[in-house]
Amino acid sequence: MARNGRYAHIVGWGMYVPAHRRTNDEIAAMVDTSDEWIATRTGIKERRIAAEHESTATMALRAGEAALEIASLAPEALDLIIVASATPDYLFPASACIVQDKLGADHAGAFDLSAACSGFVYGLSLAAQAIETGAIDTALVIGSETLSRFVDWKDRKTCILFGDGAGAVVLAGRNQRGGVLSSTLRSDGSGGELLLVPAGGSRHPASLETLANNQHTIKMLGREVFRFATRAMADAARVVVEKAGLTFDEVALVIPHQANSRIIETATRMLRLPEEKVYMNVERYGNTSSASIPIALCEAVEEGRVQPGDNLVLVGFGAGLTWAAAAVQWAVPWPVVPQPPQQRVLWRARRVFARLRSGWRRVGRRIWGALRWLQGKRGQPSAEE
């Protein structure tokens, strides 16, 4: 995919998951289900649930900081931050801007990307293309989700599936071949109703009626999504492998969106891949939507399943409907040489400074606003004049 001999390499990665684990047994105490049903139909054993003080942006920040630290890249050197999320903190501002501010990434553009579970691969592909054209040199691509806040905890068909977390990668331009070799982005909006949160947007803004009708939580037609997902995953993986000029024999690991072990196993059979070539951690985190692929990538790297020179296929599918894949050649050895202690102290100090600066800017803006208001008051003619 490279142009001008420029390739977008993954040079850093990081993940964050909330501490609280919610097991199948805990869910079975809330709705009519069982650990056995959930585990056999989905492969999920537990998922993480965000604490009250956590949100999509706070988790994205933690994953992004970890990725920058591995890349040894200062936040000021970032050109672009993309946060892929179906559960952003606000309609606006973008969660990516909150991350930009807290990181102190003063030279970076920042935006959110809404492509549900395919969002991370969409973001990776767009950032890689921007690097290859020479428009930018570095990017932080994050997938982050707080799905637990949009799950109907009384609906056993959906509440068993989803979890919270974030994963991130740092992309940097290099002249040697590697990094993102090819990608494909696809969509089929005719399947929009298969998986949606009906209210809260401009079509059905929040109202007493939407609340009473429970329209702010995830609705899904599971069987139809299942059928779409297996086909989409296999097709997209084939496309990027071919586009990259590879065969599946040359692919070391496929890292799919972690929605359901049965979807992954069916697609694995369709692609005639041995099981060990397909990464799975759905049992620990459930479906974390746009965060699932970068979380799985981080764990695969840390387990030593990804080595320099390996070709990987990342493949996602989800609401929209959307699906996407990317073929990536890995370049960074693992374990990464640990940073000297003074470097770690410097990173910590940098974080504290970025947070302080953000606070000063907010306070400064308020003081400035108050001064302008006072000035305006003084300049205004009184009613008697």
Active site residues: 117, 257, 287
Query: Would you say 182 and 8 are in contact if contact means Cβ atoms under 8 Å apart?
Result: no
The least distance separating ligand ACO from the CB of residue 7, rounded to whole angstroms, comes to 30
Nearer to ligand ACO, 109 or 191 (CB): 191
- Binding positions for ligand ACO, 250-279, rule CB under 6 A: 259-260, 263
Q: Is 6 in the site for ligand ACO (CB under 6 A)?
A: no
Nearest residue (beta carbon) to ligand ACO? 222
- Cα–Cα distances in Å, from 258 out to 25, 156, 164, 349, 350? 21, 19, 12, 35, 34
Residue choice 6, 21, 45, 156 for contact with ligand ACO (CB under 6 A) = 156
Strand order in the sheet with 311-318: 179-187, 322-329, 311-318, 251-256
Query: Which one among 60, 96, 160, 166 touches ligand ACO, defined by CB under 6 A?
Result: 160
CB 116 → ligand ACO: shortest distance, Å? 5
Residues between 136 and 155 that touch ligand ACO (CB under 6 A): none
> Is residue 225 within the footprint of ligand ACO (CB under 6 A)?
yes
Q: What are phi and psi of 241, to 5 degrees?
A: -65, -45
Among positions 93, 198, 200, 222, the unique one binding ligand ACO when judged by CB under 6 A: 222
Distance CA 169, CA 12 (A): 5
**The only residue of 182, 281, 289, 329 in contact with ligand ACO, by rule CB under 6 A:** 289
C-alpha 111 chain-centroid distance: 13
The tokens for 18 are 């909330």
Nearest CB to ligand ACO, comparing residues 12 and 318: 318
Residues 193 and 137: beta-carbon distance below 8 Å: no
Hey, what's the torsion of the CAs at 222, 225, 227, 233, to 10 degrees?
-140
CA distances from 93 to 39, 54, 82, 134, 341 (A): 38, 17, 13, 28, 36
Segments of the chain assigned E as strands: 7-16, 20-23, 46-49, 80-84, 109-113, 138-146, 164-174, 179-187, 195-196, 219-220, 251-256, 311-318, 322-329
Residue whose CB is less far from ligand ACO, 223 or 378 = 223
Distance CA 203, CA 213 (A): 15
In the complex, what is the shortest distance from the CB of residue 363 to ligand ACO, in angstroms, rounded to a whole number?
A: 40
Closest CA to 185 of 276, 286, 116: 116
Any contact of residue 319 with ligand ACO (CB under 6 A)? yes
- Separation of CA 82 from chain center: 9
Residues contacting ligand ACO: total by CB under 6 A: 24
Which C-beta is closer to ligand ACO: that of 234 or that of 306?
Answer: 234
Residue 329 interacts with ligand ACO (CB under 6 A): yes or no: no
Classify burial at 189, counting beta carbons within 10 Å of its beta carbon; exposed 0-12, middle 13-18, buried 19 or more.
exposed
C-alpha span between 303 and 337 (Å, rounded): 16
Work out whether 195 is an interface residue with ligand ACO (CB under 6 A).
Answer: yes
Smallest gap, in angstroms, from Cβ of residue 162 to ligand ACO? Answer: 8
Q: How far is the CB of 63 from ligand ACO (least distance, A)?
A: 18
Q: Which of 24, 42, 55, 58 binds ligand ACO (CB under 6 A)?
A: 42
Place of tokens 């109907």: 152
Say how far apart CA 231 and CA 92 lie, in whole Å: 34
Binding test (CB under 6 A) with ligand ACO, winner from 2, 8, 10, 33: 33
Using rule CB under 6 A, residue 116 touches ligand ACO: yes
Does residue 117 belong to the site contacting ligand ACO (CB under 6 A)? yes
Site track 65-104 with ligand ACO (rule: CB under 6 A), x = hit = ----------------------------------------
Binding site for ligand ACO (CB under 6 A): 33, 37-38, 41-42, 116-117, 156-157, 160, 195, 220, 222-223, 225-226, 229, 259-260, 263, 287, 289, 318-319
